[in-house]
């Protein structure tokens, strides 16, 4: 079964069959709220060609992005194994299609299938690695490096060069003011790396993004590959 979501596509036939009757394909709109911190999570979100943003909201209203999730995984996988409460807010950053699945259905199926449980944990681990690396990145690397890293990850998830992104989302992602985003995006346009106009950003030079990104992009990608595609054990 080729769904376009890597978590679903990693499952064996029996696990897919257990989930498929309650999988629902939906179209998500930009800025749509999918989860709210402190409230029960009812459904798992499994992106196909959209990107969702996991956000921490402070008491004074300031927001910062802890991680993004695209077709490589999903949001709420660990909630199927533990608390049903969401400890983060989630919105749609780039509109597109996704599958939804009732949290209790995934929880029930995982309790019956060690192979499904293993895949849930692996994909959840991959997103946790991204969140941890992003924390270090936000503290240690400059804004332009972080923007390059984020654009590379987003481009990977969508499989295209044109990204529908607002300055508001970019400022939340980077944890900086919009004026800072404007200045950096303008300089990157002058350098011929991107074009940015009316909420649409187009990557012109991926090699330049790779050169300008900090080490965190490679760390996140390498860690995800090791987590999701571990080497086969050597024969005894």
Q: pLDDT tens across 138-181, in order?
A: 888 899 999 999 899 889 888 889 888 888 878 877 778 888 88
Question: Do both 128 and 37 map to the same domain?
Answer: yes
The structure's pTM equals 0.86
Question: Do both 89 and 192 map to the same domain?
Answer: no
Question: Do both 184 and 146 map to the same domain?
Answer: yes
The helix or strand, by DSSP H or E, that contains position 201, with its residue range, turns out to be strand 200-203
The mean pLDDT value of the chain amounts to 89
Mean pLDDT for 42-56 is 93
Which stretches within 175-215 are classed as H helix?
178-190, 206-212
Question: Do both 41 and 113 map to the same domain?
Answer: yes
At 125 the pLDDT is 87
Q: For residue 163, what is the domain's CATH number? A: 1.10.10.10
Q: pLDDT, tens digit, for every residue of 203-233?
A: 999 999 999 998 988 888 888 777 776 655 4
On whether the CB atoms of residues 36 and 122 are closer than 8 A, the answer is no
Mean pLDDT for 174-193 is 89
Where does a domain end: 113, 138, 163? Answer: 138
Mean pLDDT for 50-78 is 88
At 80 the pLDDT is 92
Does a structural domain hold residue 73? yes
At 57 the pLDDT is 83
The parent domain of residue 190 ranges over: 142-213
Q: Is the pLDDT score of 133 beyond 90?
A: no
Question: Do both 134 and 147 map to the same domain?
Answer: no
Of 82, 12, 90, which Cα lies nearest the Cα of 45? 90
At 230 the pLDDT is 61
With a CB cutoff of 8 Å and minimum separation 6, the contacts of 5 are 46, 47, 48, 71, 74, 98, 99
Does a structural domain hold residue 51? yes
């Amino acid at each position: 079964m080729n769904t376009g979501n890597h978590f679903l596509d990693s499952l064996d036939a029996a696990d897919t069959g257990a989930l498929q009757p309650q999988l629902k394909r939906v179209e998500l709109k930009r800025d749509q709220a999918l989860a709210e911190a402190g409230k029960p999570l009812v459904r798992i979100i499994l992106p196909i060609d959209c990107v969702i943003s996991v956000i921490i909201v402070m008491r004074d209203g300031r927001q910062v992005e802890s991680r993004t999730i695209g077709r490589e995984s999903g949001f709420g996988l660990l909630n199927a194994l533990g608390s049903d409460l969401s400890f983060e807010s989630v919105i749609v950053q780039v509109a597109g299609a996704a599958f939804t699945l009732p949290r209790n259905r995934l929880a029930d199926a995982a309790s019956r299938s060690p192979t499904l449980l293993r895949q849930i944990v692996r994909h959840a681990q991959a997103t946790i690695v991204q969140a941890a690396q992003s924390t270090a990145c936000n503290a240690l690397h400059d804004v332009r490096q972080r923007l390059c890293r984020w654009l590379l990850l987003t481009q990977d998830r969508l499989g295209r060069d044109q990204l529908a992104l607002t300055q508001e989302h970019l400022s939340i992602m980077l944890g900086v003011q919009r004026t800072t985003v404007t200045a950096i995006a303008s300089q990157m346009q002058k350098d011929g790396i991107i074009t940015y106009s009316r909420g649409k950003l187009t990557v012109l030079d991926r090699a330049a993004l790779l050169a300008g990104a900090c080490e965190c992009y490679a760390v996140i990608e390498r860690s995800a590959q090791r987590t999701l595609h571990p080497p086969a054990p050597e024969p005894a």
